Amino acid sequence: MSPDSTGLDAWVDVLSAVFMIVGATMSLGAAIGLLRFPDLLSRMHAATKPQVLGLFLLLASIGLQMRTLWVWPVLLVAWIFQLLTVPVSAHMVGRAGYRTKHLHRELLTSDELEAVVQKAAAKAAREDGSGDG
Amino acid sequence: MSRRRISLRQELPLLVWLVIVWGALWQDFSPGNLLFGALLSVAVARLFYLPPVELSGRFNILHAIPFALMFLAKVVMASMQLLFLAVWRGPRVKNAVVAVTLRSHQDLLVTATGHVISLIPGSLVVEVDRSTSTLYLHALNISSPQEVENLKNEVLSIEAGLIRIMGTRDELEILRTEAAA
């Protein structure tokens, strides 16, 4: 750290401190959501999403504190990989959770997938029946 | 088994991305390092063969920058909302599973739309019907048919934004006729 703490450096420190606190709050929000939401699918929202912003803010504060230009590309790559992988894991868990009925149906105000699933199941059952006969 | 060869032009975005990752990991963008990275990326792309992603051949940076800013703003807003929901609403939250039929039938655009929807907190893709390019979303805090409509409109507007950035000419034409109607 440079001895000059009144100028630009102070502002950079304040900005990165704010980023770190807000970013950590997002992770806290994820933890609270995991505890408080009622079923797997709504917990998935809490488990996967707030860290997208949380990680972004923490990486940005690392970038501000390191004070070298060459650390930014690697932070950006780390964030992009997070952007690419988070929806995939959320989708895989969500899909498996819906299929194995790990959800509270009484908490859904509308379900436009259920009819489609039942239709497909009925069709599969019919085809099984005709195959046997 | 013979593989369908793909042209260098089609493979170029992947190779450029690999070189950028290489440079970023070494934190060294000197020409020598980049050249070695390029050699490695060609070797990796040849050895670990993946089906090529079909690009539309256009990319509009003028639409991409506002879209990225809007995306960040939405992520911030929705993260705050999720925090609020988790603390105050908790176990009493009402959800919905909503079907949205997209305009595009390209795998890349359907994937990109699904990714953007999933990254904005409050909605995640539960199931995809590829033949009709329908996304089935699970959305948090939906308690009225009006909110279901709002969500559908939002998904379609995100898809429209992505089409303006990298959709094909046909899809742009669909957007134009929709706007005129």
Kindly provide the ipTM of the predicted complex, given to two decimals: 0.80
- How many separate domains does chain A show? 1
- Token pair for residue A14? 């304040």
* Domain range annotation of chain B: 8-47, 61-180
A2 domain-assigned: no
Q: Most distant CA pair in chain B: distance in Å?
A: 59
Instruction: Name residues 7-26 of chain B within 8 A of A (Cβ).
Output: 20-21, 23-25
Local confidence pLDDT in tens for the 133 residues of chain A: 445 556 788 888 999 999 999 999 888 888 888 888 888 888 888 887 788 888 899 999 999 988 888 888 899 999 999 888 888 888 888 888 888 877 777 777 777 777 777 777 788 888 877 655 4
Name the H helices within chain A.
8-36, 40-48, 50-66, 71-99, 114-132
Instruction: Name residues 34-73 of chain B within 8 A of A (Cβ).
Output: none
C-alpha A121/C-alpha A129 separation (Å) is 12
Residue type, A90: A
Interface test with B, best of A43, A109, A111 (most B CBs within 10 A): A109
Cβ B79–A26 below 8 Å, yes or no?
A: yes
Tens digit of pLDDT for each residue in B45-71?
A: 888 877 777 777 778 888 899 999 999
A121 domain-assigned: no
- Taking the alpha carbons at both ends of chain A, their separation in whole angstroms is 81
Cβ B75–A53 below 8 Å, yes or no?
A: yes
* Domain extent at residue A43: 8-105
Q: Establish if A73 touches chain B: CB-CB under 8 angstroms.
A: yes
